Amino acid sequence: MKLARIAPSLLSSDLGRLREQVEAALAGGAEWLHVDVMDGRFVPNLTFGAPLIRALRRFTDAPLDVHLMVVEPEQYIAEYADLGVSVFTFHPEATVHVQRHLAAIRERGMRAGLSLNPASPLALVEEVVPELDLLLLMSVNPGFGGQSYLPATTGKIRRARALLDRAGSPAALEVDGGITVETIGEAWAAGADTFVAGTAVFGQQDIGAAVAALQRRCMERA
Ligand code: DX5
Ligand code: ZN
């Protein structure tokens, strides 16, 4: 049976203990590491970028799932490819030539992802489904960790699942924001396969056990 893919969000980690916390998450079964890049313009917060990615690459080979919440994300495609980023996900709300950027991401050997804010319709990605390796649905308004899962996301996950299936797309369907042991089962049952979790992983005493608990919840609903 297919396992849920957990991508812990480093936004909620203790950067002073980054290596130790990342290793604990991976030991607990985390498959990807989610890196939230924010520019203080697309979202009202600033985080990190290339220096953190470079630091991670010094001690782990785990796939880096980079979520760009920045205007004109295309300016980072070449640099992030060179740094060894695995998944490059951006918001179509933040730029103009979405199809061109998806193609450029793939050409550079990364997986191409699009992310939608809660208020953004699935229609924004419909025309480019064949060019997507990942669709990320925001279940909170992006910018901060620790917010609550917006219940309307569950119906949107179902509709996104149907959209991908209709197109025969193998793209991952990822959910980000407010994912906890209470909410993950519902998102999984609706058809998501990849889950970002910040607080629910790095806010816990035992980071590895927290990852395993999220995965277990999905298996209980399988
Ligand atoms: C929010 C970020 C998320 C965030 C999730 O803008 O995109 O990845 O870290 O944090 P939690 O899991 O605490 O909601
Ligand atoms: Zn994110």
Give, for all 222 residues of the chain, the pLDDT tens digit.
Answer: 788 999 999 999 999 999 999 999 999 999 999 999 999 999 999 999 999 999 999 999 999 999 999 999 999 999 999 999 999 999 999 999 999 999 999 999 999 999 999 999 999 999 999 999 999 999 999 999 999 999 999 999 999 999 999 999 999 999 999 999 999 999 999 999 999 999 999 999 999 999 999 999 999 987
Q: What is the pLDDT of residue 154?
A: 98
Compute, in angstroms, the gap from residue 136 CA to the centroid of ligand 2. 9
Ligand located closest to 147 CA: 1
Determine contact, residues 36/11, Cβ cutoff 8 Å.
Answer: yes
Does 67 sit in the ligand 1 pocket, CB within 6 Å? yes
Euclidean distance between the first and final Cα of the chain, in Å? 9
| Residue 165 known to be catalytic | no
Distance CA 112, CA 109 (A): 9
- Give me 144's structure tokens: 């901060």
- For residue 51, give the DSSP letter: H
Distance CA 6, CA 194 (A): 6
3-state secondary structure of 190: coil
Does 121 sit in the ligand 1 pocket, CB within 6 Å? no
Residue 7's H or E segment, with its range, is strand 5-8
3-state secondary structure of 106: helix
CATH of domain 5-221: 3.20.20.70
Determine contact, residues 152/187, Cβ cutoff 8 Å.
Answer: no
Q: What is the pLDDT of residue 118?
A: 99
pTM of the model: 0.98
Does 11 sit in the ligand 1 pocket, CB within 6 Å? yes
- Give me 23's structure tokens: 């290793």
Torsion sign (Cα): 22, 10, 65, 84: negative
Which residue, chain included where needed, has tokens 């989610």?
A: 34
Q: What is the pLDDT of residue 222?
A: 74
In residues, how long is the chain? Answer: 222
Beta strands in 61-154 (DSSP E): 64-69, 87-90, 111-116, 134-138
Torsion sign (Cα): 30, 35, 89, 91: positive
